[in-house]
Amino acid sequence: MYTRRTPRTASVFLRAASVSRSGGVHRRARSGARTAAGLLATAALLVSACSSGSSTTSTASAASAAADTAALVALPRPVPAALSPYYRQKPAWRGCGVPGFECATVKAPLDYDKPSGGDVRLAVARKKATGPGERLGSLLVNPGGPGGSAIGYVQAYAGIGYPSEVRARYDMVAVDPRGVARSEPVECLDGPEMDTYTQTDATPDDAKETDGLVAAYRTFAEGCGADAPRLLRHVSTVETARDMDIVRAALGDEKLNFVGASYGTFLGATYAGLFPQRTGRLVLDGAMDPSLPARRLNLEQTAGFETAFRSFARDCVRQPDCPLGGEGTSPGKVGENLKAFFEKLDARPVPTGDADGRKLTESLATTGVIAAMYDEGAWQQLREALTSAMKENDGSGLLVLSDGYYERDADGGYSNLMFANAAVNCLDLPPAFDSPDEVRRSLPAFEKASPVFGEGLAWAALNCAYWPVRATGEPHRIEAKGAAPIVVVGTTRDPATPYRWAEALAGQLSSARLLTYEGDGHTAYGRGSSCIDSTINAYLLRGTPPQDGKRCS
């Protein structure tokens, strides 16, 4: 139920795309969606993306699948007396080193059931509306993950790259969720330990390799538990959504206006479900389906990455520099060629020239390829990286893609994205698998969903089995009865949040309007479609939602 990262830290991870279709930086400093975090982190959420056909039929099927799950219950409208001090906060804004932005800290209770038991300090950043025109309030943004820094996103992209007319009328605001980036970040492993973790063989061939993978998951989980034993029990999406209501009040807004990408759609939908009467203009781009259990989420996301890979494969063989096949080579054969390359790396990693001595392993190469599936603008870079690795024994290009996905810097340090990703995912849903034997029994289904990525993504979904904190969430529907119109956006060949999820969420939300982008890549707003952008801008600026079922290309 979230946007999770795919590779290997959590079972599902969804993140917003990092590069725009025009080639510019889109969402980052990198944030995410929620799949598993690479292939250890890379295991993403999976679902087959629907590129055509009857939206009504698909939505009806999704609604039927969700019928047996309970609906998220709205909280009482009055603010409980114990929480009143939090709602009365007045942020002390100060400069924060980025021109045009100011920052503050807002407190929230660590445990909403025991508000007197301690606080969490939430980092908030904003860029005030520039005018002209009447100010419309605050527009909170979240790029996904879970674990992506919203502050990094607003400072590097949304606060300067959103349409000028939107930035003129709204204060652009971001809150790093509890446990993320500047808001008391969860830390699990240091740089060298993460290097070892990301190179662990994620497609074990025998008992020894299986034991090695399980040991890696245990080490990761124990590191997180040792770092933040109390906080780790309180980083759920529901708690983060409640934090957003405190921030809304602190900003002086009667209603929350919000644009969430990837996992950010689950966060925004959760807010609407808890506080429907305080829900303003919500855009949920690259939507998640909260009604699915973790195993099905991962399986469907696996199919989503296969859909994206086949689109890449069809494009690749039309290019003169495709190392996976020539013109006329079928997507299936391209996949077989890539899989054969991965198997060669499993036996013999190739040099990368890395200062820390890392070689390109099967796990790192797979993560690099998956990273490029998020945006078709990265396909040329992927072709070049594969050519260097396959024909010149140089794995540096794929290592660059993998490091970007993991947010590893040049000095060997990692952001806390993967740590927070696992912390939220493993708390929000019971684990997809409880043991290696369960993974093995499910391998045929995952490999059918994706012959290229299925095996690795299935094993990546095992990570939450060893988490030190039991899950507090369960699959559920979100109806948000009484909320203002909510725009749900789906891309037909989205790798990380399959299109069916957008249909499913739109089918659950009582006031949803489904907006479809017929194309490739993860998320749609601000990525090159004038139809999508103008439709969302009209909604944000004038409160005019699109007709339900509108399609753009």
Which residues are marked as active site? Answer: 262, 494, 522
DSSP H helix total and E strand total for the chain: 19, 13
Token pair in block for residue 54: 């009857």
How far is 288 from 267, CA to CA, in rounded Å?
Answer: 9
Three-state DSSP class for residue 78 = coil
SS3 string, 422-488, reads HHHHHHHCCCCCCCHHHHHHHHHHHHHHCCCCHHHHHHHCCHHHHCCCCCCCCCCECCCCCCCCEEE
How far is 239 from 122, CA to CA, in rounded Å?
Answer: 12
Closest to 511 in 3D by CA, of 323, 277, 288: 277
Q: Half-sphere exposure of residue 364, counting CA atoms within 13 Å on the CB side?
A: 30
Q: What does the CA dihedral 156, 160, 166, 172 come to, rounded to 10 degrees?
A: 50
With residue 533 as reference, give the H or E element that holds it.
helix 530-542
Amino acid letter, residue 426: C
C-beta separation of 293 from 497 below 8 A:
no
CB atoms within 10 A of CB 394: 18
Q: Please report where in the chains the tokens 């801008």 appear, as a residue.
A: 537
Q: Please report where in the chains the tokens 């024909």 appear, as a residue.
A: 391
How far is 334 from 209, CA to CA, in rounded Å?
Answer: 27
- With 0-12 CB in 10 A as exposed, 13-18 as middle and 19+ as buried, what is 520? buried
Provide CB contacts within 8 A for 376, sequence distance 6+: 21, 311, 312, 315, 520, 521
543 in the Ramachandran plot: left (φ > 0), alpha (ψ -120 to 50) or beta? left
Q: What angle do CA 101, 489, 251 make, to 5 degrees?
A: 30
